[in-house]
C-alpha cells in the first residue's frame, strides 16, 4: 500500500508518501509558514488556514513528481484530524477527503501526537515495545507508556504550559524572533549554565506531572535584573534550557523506574533540542538502557509521521467511515483504538 500523509495542524504544511511493502518513505515535502507568522510574534490561526489552502495542491504535485508516481498509485489518504488549530485541520481534512473521494480510495484521520510518537520508527535503529515516549511539542508535554503500538497510557503531563510553549514564551520575553524555541536553544550554546540557577518545577514532590509556566516568570524577573547584554541573554537562556532539560530528565527517570521499562523515545519539536537529546542519551546509557529519537527533520511537524502512522493503521484495516469532514481540536491520545494485528 502507498499511503499519502497530510499534516496541516498548525503552521507547517507537510505531505509524504509511505510504502508499506518497501517499508519506507517514497518522499516528503514541507512548507513552513514561520516567515509569515514571525511578523505577528506567533501563529495567526486564520492566516495559517489560508496559507494551507494555497500550498497543499502545489506541494502535492511536487511530491508526486519527486516520487515519480501519479495519483492513481495512491491507495489511501491519511491526514491530521487533530489536535491542532481547527481551521488549519479543516483545510487538511477537506483536501484529503476531496482527493480520496475523487480517487475512490479510503481516508483515515490520524492523531497528530501519535504521528510524533511513531516518528522514531521511521529510522533504521528502532525501539521495541514496551517503551516510554517523551512527547515534547509546542502544545503538548507528555510521558507515555507504549505497551503495544497504537495503545497509549499517559503517565504524566504538564499541568500548564508545554515545554515548547515555555521555550517560545521565554524567547519572546527576551526579544527573540518567532518561533523562539530553536533561537533560544542556539543562544544557550554560548551561555554559562552555572550563572543562573532556575527552579526545576515539581521535582520536589512525587509524581510524573510537570509545570513550566512559573519558570517563565522566574526567568523574566532574573532577565530584567541584568543589563540585558548579549552575554546576559545567553547565560539566562542556558540556565532556562538546563532547568527544562533537567526537569524532563528527572520525570522520565521516574517513569522508567515506575514501569521498569528501559527504552526511551523522544519526539515532537523540542525533541530537536541538542541539550535534551544529549542529556537523555547520557541518562539512558548510565541506566544500561536505550534511547531513540527521530531524524531532526521529523521532530518538528511534518507529513512523513502522518503518512507512517496512517499507513500502520490502514494496513490493519482501519479507515474513516465516510467522507464527512470532522476535524477535532481536542483529542486525547488514550482514546485511540488499538491497531489490530494483521
Report whether 107 contacts 97 (CB < 8 A): yes
Q: Indicate whether 42 belongs to the interface with ligand KG4 (CB under 6 A).
A: no
191 binds, among Zn ion, ligand KG4, none (CB under 5 to 8 A by kind): none
Q: Segment near ligand KG4 (CB under 6 A), from 70-78, 98-106, 176-184, 211-219?
A: 176-184
Rg (CA), the chain: 20
Question: Minimum distance from CB of 308 to Zn ion (Å)?
Answer: 14
Grid coordinates standing for 160?
500548564
Nearer to Zn ion, 164 or 239 (CB): 164
Nearer to ligand KG4, 9 or 263 (CB): 9
Calculate ∠ Cα 240-244-249, nearest 5°. Answer: 145
Nearer to ligand KG4, 142 or 222 (CB): 142
139 binds, among ligand KG4, Zn ion, none (CB under 5 to 8 A by kind): ligand KG4
Q: Indicate whether 181 belongs to the interface with ligand KG4 (CB under 6 A).
A: yes
> How big is the site for ligand KG4, counted in residues (CB under 6 A)?
18
Residues 98-137 that bind ligand KG4 (CB under 6 A): 137
3-state secondary structure of 124: coil
- Which of 168, 232, 235, 320: binder of ligand KG4 (CB under 6 A)? 168
Nearer to ligand KG4, 90 or 117 (CB): 117
Separation between Cα atoms, residue 246 and residue 326, nearest integer Å: 39
Q: Segment near ligand KG4 (CB under 6 A), from 45-53, 192-200, 269-277, 315-323?
A: 269-277
DSSP 26-90: EEEEEEE-HHHHHTTTS--HHHHHHHHHHHHHHHHHHHHHHHT--GGG--EEEEEEESS-HHHHH
Q: Indicate whether 270 belongs to the interface with ligand KG4 (CB under 6 A).
A: yes
3-state secondary structure of 246: helix
Look at strands 263-267 and 141-148 and give their pairing: unpaired
270 binds, among Zn ion, ligand KG4, none (CB under 5 to 8 A by kind): ligand KG4
Q: Indicate whether 327 belongs to the interface with ligand KG4 (CB under 6 A).
A: no
Q: Indicate whether 5 belongs to the interface with ligand KG4 (CB under 6 A).
A: no
The residues, any chain, with a CB within 8 Å of residue 332's CB and separated by 6 or more, are 154
Amino acid at each position: 500500500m502507498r499511503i499519502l500523509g497530510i499534516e496541516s495542524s498548525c503552521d507547517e504544511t507537510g505531505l509524504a508518501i509511505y510504502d508499506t511493502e518497501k517499508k519506507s518513505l517514497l518522499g516528503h515535502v514541507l512548507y513552513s509558514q514561520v516567515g509569515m507568522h514571525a511578523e505577528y510574534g506567533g501563529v495567526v490561526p486564520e492566516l495559517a488556514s489560508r496559507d494551507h489552502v494555497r500550498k497543499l495542491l502545489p506541494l502535492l504535485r511536487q511530491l508526486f513528481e519527486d516520487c515519480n508516481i501519479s495519483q492513481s498509485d495512491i491507495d489511501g489518504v491519511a491526514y491530521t484530524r487533530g489536535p491542532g488549530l481547527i481551521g488549519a485541520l479543516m483545510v487538511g481534512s477537506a483536501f484529503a477527503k476531496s482527493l480520496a473521494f475523487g480517487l475512490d480510495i479510503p481516508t483515515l484521520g490520524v492523531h497528530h501526537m501519535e504521528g510524533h510518537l511513531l516518528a522514531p520508527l521511521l529510522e533504521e535503529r528502532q525501539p521495541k515495545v514496551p517503551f516510554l515516549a517523551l512527547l515534547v511539542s509546542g502544545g503538548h508535554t507528555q510521558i507515555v507508556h507504549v505497551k503495544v503500538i497504537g495503545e497509549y497510557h499517559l503517565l504524566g503531563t504538564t499541568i500548564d504550559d508545554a515545554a515548547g510553549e515555555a521555550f517560545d514564551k521565554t524567547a519572546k520575553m527576551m526579544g527573540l524572533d518567532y518561533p523562539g524555541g530553536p533561537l533560544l536553544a542556539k543562544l544557550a550554546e554560548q551561555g554559562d549554565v552555572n550563572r543562573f540557577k532556575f527552579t526545576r518545577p515539581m521535582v520536589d514532590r512525587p509524581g510524573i506531572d510537570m509545570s513550566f509556566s512559573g519558570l517563565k516568570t522566574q526567568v523574566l524577573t532574573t532577565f530584567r535584573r541584568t543589563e540585558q547584554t548579549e552575554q546576559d541573554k545567553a547565560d539566562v537562556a542556558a540556565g532556562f534550557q538546563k532547568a527544562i532539560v533537567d526537569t524532563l530528565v528527572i520525570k522520565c527517570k521516574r517513569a522508567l523506574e515506575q514501569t521498569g521499562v528501559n527504552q526511551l523515545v523522544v519526539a515532537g519539536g523540542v525533541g530537536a533540542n541538542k541539550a535534551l537529546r544529549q542529556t537523555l542519551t547520557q541518562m539512558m546509557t548510565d541506566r544500561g538502557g536505550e534511547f531513540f529519537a527521530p531524524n531532526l527533520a521529523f521532530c518538528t511537524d511534518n507529513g512523513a509521521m502522518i503518512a507512517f502512522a496512517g499507513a500502520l493503521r490502514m494496513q490493519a484495516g482501519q479507515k474513516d467511515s465516510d467522507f464527512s469532514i470532522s476535524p477535532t481540536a481536542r483529542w486525547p491520545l488514550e482514546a485511540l483504538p488499538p491497531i489490530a494485528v494483521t
